[in-house]
Amino acid sequence: MNQYNSIEEEIIKRKSVAKREGAARLRKKQQLIDRLFRFVLPAVIAVAIITGAVFLILMSHEEEEEKAAVMPNISIEKIATEFPEEEEVKPEHNLTVYSAGDNAATTGLPSDVVSSYGILIDLADDTILAQRNARERISPASMTKILTALVACEHLTEEDLDQKMTITLEFTDYSYRNDLSAVGFAENEEVTIRDLLYGTILPSGGDAAIALATYIAGSEEAFVEMMNERLKELQLSDSTHFTNVAGMYDEQHYSTVYDMAMIMHAGIDNKMCREVLNAHTYTTSPTEQHPEGITVSNWFLRRIEDKDCGLTVECAKTGFVVQSRNCAASFADDEDGHGYICVTADSSSGWRCIYDHVSIYSAFSGITERPAIPADDALPDDDTLTGNEDASPELSEEDILSSPAEYAPAVQDDEPAAEKPRKSSGITVNNTVINSSGN
């Protein structure tokens, strides 16, 4: 019995020892796991973080080296100096106020000048050399288009000139509805803004003028506001006011030959506008409707260029409405660049208007022998309202005079009218009877 008790005690003892040893091993394992989470895992995480940071630094450095290889190390100041930012090209807008004054030497126009209104200005010192009713109100007719072109040029860049605009029925009807000269553009024809500029001045195209105004301002009314604002800048708004872009007669559309001379002065001082006023001929860009373009002419320049007046007439714009008959503004200079501006109104015909300018220029240009001015019956008889042979037929002055009630209120054009002998010793202009001799 004692033997069995001893064996059982031994078994219990050994189980107790095994249990203690198992508990001890479990504690050691737990301690090992605790040490792993406390020391080894943070170390591994730290190593991973450091390794990642080093990798990112190396990659960033490599990218910087690649960029450095592509673009040299140039300072911002050096780049700004060597590659300056392009300045925006703005249209030319000269805010100069032009004026001219008379003095003791100022005289009247030569006696052979028919125009009832006229002025000659010496641009060297802005002196009025000669004048006749220079500050009395006139209807400027298509001389208006000098300001139309000037305002347009002041809102256009050279790049704008190659832009295109589609001619609408509204534009073509503007000329025909108001009996104006026309370039002859067709409906839906795409023309350049350059074509519109030259078409406004050379053939005095009403279709070109209204299209140009619409391109610049969106409508004729808005563009006319810009024209009148420009007159304020020129300090001419007390004696000049415009209601349309073409120069059609209107009681509120008026100016003086003095004011028109100031407007011409501003026009020739604008490079783009001067080039247009200086052109003798121009051919519009080819289009589907006009594959060879339309050739137009400034007939005043072409007809005066062979007349010896001691000067070279460089720029001109003519006009005609029944109320002011034939009128013109021109700029001329001599070989030394000494410039003059001449403006006349109420001449008896287009050719007579040209010879009025010849007479005025020659009287003050210093030439020793003045040219002979032909009598009315010696003037050419091929003079019609339109100088644009490619445009639709226009009325001649003979048509107008034969049916004044039908045509007189509306017809306006700036090409010379047909030469007709005066039927009386006077003519009514702006409700005033003017002596036809112009003296």
Tell me the average pLDDT across 142-171: 96
| Residues 325 and 142: beta-carbon distance below 8 Å | no
Residue 363 has pLDDT above 60, yes or no: yes
SS3 191: strand
Helices (H), 365-407: 397-402, 404-407
For the chain, give the mean pLDDT.
80
Tell me, yes or no, whether 172 and 233 share the same domain.
Answer: yes
User: How many Cβ atoms are within 10 Å of 50's Cβ, its own excluded?
Assistant: 10
Give the residue from 82, 103, 131 where a domain finishes. Answer: 82
Q: What residues have CB less than 8 Å from 79, skipping those under 6 apart?
A: none
Tell me, yes or no, whether 228 and 372 share the same domain.
Answer: yes
101 within domain boundaries: no
89 within domain boundaries: no
Name the percent of the chain in helix, strand, coil, to the closest 5: 45, 15, 40
In terms of pLDDT, which residue wins out, 59 or 215?
215
Tell me, yes or no, whether 63 and 210 share the same domain.
Answer: no
- How high is the pLDDT of residue 409? 34
In terms of pLDDT, which residue wins out, 276 or 426?
276
Tell me the average pLDDT across 355-362: 95
Tell me the average pLDDT across 340-351: 95
User: The CATH number of the domain where 353 resides is what?
Assistant: 3.40.710.10
234 within domain boundaries: yes
**Res. 367 pLDDT band, cuts 50 70 90:** confident
Q: What is the edge-to-edge ordering of all strands in the sheet holding 117-122? A: 127-132, 117-122, 339-347, 325-333, 312-321
Residue 430 has pLDDT above 50, yes or no: no
Residue 390 has pLDDT above 80, yes or no: no
CA distance 213 to 199: 13
- How high is the pLDDT of residue 89? 61
111 within domain boundaries: no
87 within domain boundaries: no
Amino acid found at 304: I
Tell me, yes or no, whether 126 and 71 share the same domain.
Answer: no
Q: DSSP letters along 276-331, please?
A: HHH-SEEEPPP-SS-TT--EEE-HHHHHHTTS-SSSEEEEEEEEEETTTEEEEEEE
Question: In degrees to the nearest 10, what's the CA dihedral of 265, 270, 275, 280?
Answer: -20
Domain assignment of residue 284, given as a range: 117-435
Of the candidates 165, 212, 167, the one whose C-alpha atom is nearest the C-alpha of residue 185 is: 167
Burial 303-340 (b: 16+ CB within 10 A, else e): bbeebebbbebebbbbbbbbbbbbbbbbbbbeeeeebb
Tell me, yes or no, whether 122 and 210 share the same domain.
Answer: yes
Tell me, yes or no, whether 309 and 424 share the same domain.
Answer: yes
Tell me the average pLDDT across 37-46: 71
Mark residue 366 as left, alpha or beta (left: phi above 0; alpha: psi -120 to 50; beta: remaining): left
417 within domain boundaries: yes
Residue 412 has pLDDT above 60, yes or no: no
Residue 143 has pLDDT above 50, yes or no: yes
Tokens describing residue 33: 């796991």
391 within domain boundaries: yes
Tell me the C-alpha to C-alpha distance, in Å, between residue 431 and each of 251, 350, 428: 12, 22, 6
Tokens describing residue 81: 């100096």
CA distance 433 to 425: 10
Tokens describing residue 137: 């109100």
Tokens describing residue 143: 């001389």
Amino acid found at 381: D
Tell me the average pLDDT across 301-312: 92
Residue 130 has pLDDT above 60, yes or no: yes
Tell me, yes or no, whether 165 and 277 share the same domain.
Answer: yes
φ, ψ (nearest 5 deg) of residue 345: -150, 155
Tell me, yes or no, whether 157 and 219 share the same domain.
Answer: yes
- How high is the pLDDT of residue 82? 57
As for how many domains the chain has, the answer is 2
In terms of pLDDT, which residue wins out, 160 or 392?
160
Tell me, yes or no, whether 380 and 277 share the same domain.
Answer: yes
Tell me the average pLDDT across 160-167: 95
- How high is the pLDDT of residue 20? 73
Tell me the C-alpha to C-alpha distance, in Å, between residue 404 and each of 182, 210, 357, 421, 429: 22, 27, 28, 16, 14
Give the residue from 37, 67, 82 where a domain finishes. Answer: 82
Tell me the average pLDDT across 146-151: 98
- How high is the pLDDT of residue 388? 33
φ, ψ (nearest 5 deg) of residue 412: -145, 130
Residue 313 has pLDDT above 50, yes or no: yes
Q: What residues have CB less than 8 Å from 264, skipping those under 6 apart?
A: 146, 315, 317, 329, 330, 331, 341, 343
Tell me, yes or no, whether 76 and 127 share the same domain.
Answer: no
Give the residue from 82, 107, 137 where a domain finishes. Answer: 82
**Res. 67 pLDDT band, cuts 50 70 90:** low
In terms of pLDDT, which residue wins out, 18 or 69?
18
**Res. 333 pLDDT band, cuts 50 70 90:** very high
CA distance 251 to 259: 17
| Residues 296 and 390: beta-carbon distance below 8 Å | yes
Residue 24 has pLDDT above 90, yes or no: no
Tell me the average pLDDT across 78-87: 55
Tell me, yes or no, whether 183 and 36 share the same domain.
Answer: no
In terms of pLDDT, which residue wins out, 248 or 51?
248
Residues of the chain with pLDDT > 90, as a percent, come to 57
109 within domain boundaries: no
In terms of pLDDT, which residue wins out, 80 or 235?
235
Entry field: residues in the chain: 439
